[in-house]
Amino acid sequence: MSLLVWRLAWLVHSDSAPLLSPSQFDALVIAIPYVTFILFTVAGAIVGAHSTVSRSNFYCITDNTRMKTASAAVSAIYLFTTCVFLVWTITLVYRRYRESRKFGREQIGTDVPLFIRVLSFGIFVFLALILSVIAIINWTMVVPDVLVAACE
């Protein structure tokens, strides 16, 4: 998700060609969540091999606080990076919007709906970041895990 927001910010910021071709970027965006999942699955299997596994609400968890904290911390890092890129994108879009109002829409075109979409997505990701931090602090709540998993 951070890469998608970064690409949007890059395309809004510069008129130059992107660093990666569309097929390379698509492959990277598709591969990163799977690589992260595989790394945490292997680490969880190694670390939690001899620990108690309990069925908690709708998913199974191991009784290992280091893995729980690491998973939530990586989610928080992804979401924080996404928030940084979102703030950058919102700033760029707003700056272009102000320039388009000053010089006329024909010269520098920026949609108001784009600004609203980026802003609403940013609010959603920021709430997921807050819930990820709550999930690090309090592991008995299930709702933060569900929303954070949907945002990654």
Tens of pLDDT, residues 116-129: 777 788 888 788 77
| The pLDDT value given to residue 3 | 62
Burial readout 22-42 (b: 16 or more C-beta within 10 A, e: otherwise): eeeeeeeeeeeeeeeeeeeee
| The pLDDT value given to residue 144 | 61
Q: How far apart, in Å, do the first and last CA atoms of the chain sit?
A: 6
| The pLDDT value given to residue 61 | 65
Q: Are 91 and 49 in contact (CB under 8 A)?
A: no
Q: Are 112 and 93 in contact (CB under 8 A)?
A: no
- Reading the block at residue 88, the tokens are 């950058």
Annotated domain spans of the chain: 2-151
Cα 38 to the chain's mean position, in Å? Answer: 18
| The pLDDT value given to residue 21 | 76
| The pLDDT value given to residue 133 | 77
Torsion from C-alpha of 6, 83, 96, 108, nearest 10 degrees = 40
Give every residue of the chain whose pLDDT is below 50, as ranges.
107
| The pLDDT value given to residue 57 | 55
Q: Supply the pTM of this predicted model.
A: 0.61
Residue of 74, 48, 72 whose CA lies nearest to 62 = 48
Within 8 A by CB and 6+ apart from 3, the residues are: 25, 28, 29, 32
| The pLDDT value given to residue 81 | 83
Question: Could you count the other beta carbons within 10 Å of the beta carbon of residue 82?
Answer: 24
Residue with tokens 């939530």: 72
Element (H, E) at 14: none
| The pLDDT value given to residue 91 | 82
| The pLDDT value given to residue 131 | 77
Q: Are 63 and 140 in contact (CB under 8 A)?
A: no
